[in-house]
Structure 1
Amino acid sequence: MMFVYKEYVETASSSNYTAVRVPYATEPDSSPVALVAWLPNPGITIRSLLEQLSTTKSEGPSFRRRKLTKFGFPKFETRSKVSLMDELAGLGFPIKANYPEMGSGPTEVTAISHEASIKVDEEGAEATAATVVMVARKRSTVVNEEVLVFDRPFLYLIEAGENRHVIMCGVFSVPG
C-alpha cells in the first residue's frame, strides 16, 4: 500500500462510492489523461456499483480538489487477454469478409485478441494495450505459397473512420 499525507487529491462521492482522480503527468500540448478509481461504500458490492455506473447517463462524477490527511492506494499489476471475434461480429464488423488489401488471393480473419496491462506503483501508473488480428490465406488452387511471419519486433496501429484516424499504436517486441 502506498500512502501520501496532507496532499491535495481530486475526489468525488455519491451515496454508493467515493472516487479519486489521479492525473498523469503529460506534455503541455497533449490531452489530459488520468487514473480514476471508484471505492464502493460499505455494504455496496462491486457488481451493484458497476450496474449503477453503467446506467448513469451523466458525464461522470464531479471531482473537486481537497486536502486529505492520509490517502492510501494499493500497488498492483493486472493483465488481461480476451478474444474479440464474437464481440466485433456482434457490433457488425465483417469478420468473415474477404480482405484483398492484405495480399493476393482470398484471406480470412482467424483470430482477434486484445491484451492489456496496468501497473501502479510509487512511480505512477503505466498502461499498455495491444490488439492482434490473425489473418490466414483461404485454401485455393494457388501453388506458390508466400510466407509472412511476424517473428521480430514490429510497429502496429489501429485506425478508424474514413479519415483513418489512429486510435492506438505501439511497438511489439518478442520477449526473450
Structure 2
Amino acid sequence: MFSAGNLSKILILVRLAPIVGVLVFSPQVADSSIATTSDRPNTFGIEILNKLAGNGTDNAMVSPFSVELALGMVYVGSTGVTARELSKAIGFGPPDTSPLFPGMGLLSQGSSKIVLKVANSLWCDSSTRLRDSYVEDVKARFGADVNSVDLPTVAAMRRINNWVTTATDQKITDLLKQPPQPPLILIDAVYFKGAWEYPFSRQNNFTGIFHREDGSTCEVTMMKQNLSAPYLETDNFQAVQLGYIDSRLGMVLVLPFPGTSVGAVLQSFKVNSWNETLDRFASRNGTVTLPRFKVTYRSSLVKVLATLGLRALFEPSRDFAGIFSEPRNFYISDILHETFLRVDEEGSEAAAATGIQMRATAMRPIKPFQLTFDRPFLFAIVDNKSGQILFVGVLRDPDKAKL
C-alpha cells in the first residue's frame, strides 16, 4: 500500500519530439452530467499556444493531441470539480463515452506510407495499488502499458527512459533527468513521420530572405512548388493545406497578411472557430514557397492550464480517488511539454501531430494563388477525418530553426 502522508503530488510530463506526457495522480468516477463539446479540443490547443506564444518573439509549438491524451487518462479516473473543469476546458464527454474525444480514432490510424505511433504507459510504485477498474479502463481505451517499479530509483528511471526512447523512435533518449517520485508516473508518447503527397524538388530550392516581426531579416533555404491544394483567403491571412501521401493527415500553413501579426491571427481563432474557418477551404491552383525548418520547444503548462480553467488539478483533493485503491489527497505537480518538428522537401517528422477538419467546396476557376512564407506564420498538422489538431505552432525566426 502507498504509505506516504495525506498529500501526494502528481507529475505529468508531456514531451513531443515525438511527444511524451508523464503524470502522477489519483481519481474517481466523474459526474454523468458532463457534456461534450466537439470543437473544444481544437479550441483548447489554440488557446494553449496563444497563452504561450501569442505575444512572443520566438518559435513555439504544442501538441493538443498529446495533452488531451494525458489529461484524458486523468479524467477517466477523476470526479468532482476536477472532472467538471476538464470536461469544460477540453470538451471531454462523460467518462464512459467512447471515444472520449473525436481525435482518439487516431489511436488505430495506420498507413504504409506514414508512421503514426501513439504509446501510453503507467509506472506505479511497487508499494502502491491501483484500482483494477481504472487499470482495465486505461488499457482498453488508451492501450496503456501498466508497469510496477520501485520509485524513486535509478533503475526505474532508466527503464522508463528506455521505454520512451523506443516509443519516440530514438528522438527522446533522456526524458527523466532524475529518479521520479512515487506513487505514479503516466507517460503519453506520440511519433509522426509523413511524406508529402507532392514532394518539393530540391532543384527548386533557393536562398530567400525572411522578415521577422521586429523588422530584422535573415537568410533561409526556401522550397518552392506549383500544385493544386485546399486554399483559403480571408481579410487577415492566406492559408493552404499540404497533404501527406496515403493519409488522412495534412499540414495547414497560415500566413498573415503584412501588418497582421501571428498573435492577432491566433486571437481571431478564439472568436471564429478554427474548425469552421478551415471548413471554408476550397481546392485551387497556386504556388507555395516555404522555408525548410526544424522547431524544438519546451515549456511547463501548469500556469497556462490554470488560466484556462484547470485549477483543481493543481490543488490537493480526493478528486483522483478512482485511480488508487487507498484514497488520499493528490494534486498534479507539473506538466512539462516538449515538442519537435522537422519540415523539408520530403515531408514532416514530429513528436506529436495535429488534427483539423478541412473540406474543399466547389469553386469557379480563378487566378492561381501565390503563397510565400517569408514572414512569421502559423502551422498545424491535422487529421482531416476527426478534425483533431496533432501539432500547432508558430515560426517567427527560421534562423533559430535551420536544418
Considering the TM-score relative to the shorter chain, is it more than 0.5? yes
C-alpha separation in 1, matches of 2:324 and 2:267: 41
Change (3 A) 1:86 1:92: same
Q: In the alignment, is the contact (CA less than 8 A) between 2:237 and 2:257 conserved in 1?
A: yes
C-alpha separation in 2, matches of 1:49 and 1:13: 13
Change (3 A) 1:16 1:43: same
State the shift of 1:123 in Å: 1.3
State the shift of 1:88 in Å: 3.9
Partner of 2:224: 3
SS of 1:60's equivalent? Answer: helix
C-alpha separation in 1, matches of 2:263 and 2:285: 30
Partner of 1:83: 300
Partner of 1:52: 268
Partner of 1:161: none
Identity of aligned residues (%): 27
Question: Map of 1:127-142 to 2, 5 A cutoff?
Answer: 127-129=350-352
Q: Which residue, 243, 263, 273 being the options, matches 1:23?
A: 243
* Structure 1 position 125 matched with structure 2 position 348: yes
Change (3 A) 1:126 1:93: farther
State the shift of 1:122 in Å: 0.7
Alpha-carbon displacement from aligned partner over 1:105-128 (angstroms, at most 9, x marks no partner): 977643220111211111111221
Alpha-carbon displacement from aligned partner over 1:33-87 (angstroms, at most 9, x marks no partner): 221111111222223222223221461131122222x321111111111112234
C-alpha separation in 2, matches of 1:79 and 1:11: 27
Partner of 2:401: none
Q: Which residue, 232, 235, 247 being the options, matches 1:12?
A: 232
Worse-superposed segment, 118-127 or 99-108: 99-108
C-alpha separation in 1, matches of 2:269 and 2:336: 26
C-alpha separation in 2, matches of 1:47 and 1:105: 44
Instruction: Give the structure with the larger strand fraction.
Output: 1
Q: Which residue, 335, 339, 349 being the options, matches 1:112?
A: 335
One-letter amino acid of the counterpart of residue 2, structure 1? M
Partner of 1:64: 282
Worse-superposed segment, 96-105 or 120-129: 96-105
TM-score (norm 1): 0.57
Partner of 1:37: 253
Worse-superposed segment, 55-64 or 7-16: 55-64
CA RMSD of aligned residues (A): 2.8
Change (3 A) 1:88 1:47: closer
User: Bigger relative contact order, structure 1 or 2, given CA contacts below 8 A and separation 6+?
Assistant: 2
Give the number of aligned pairs: 124
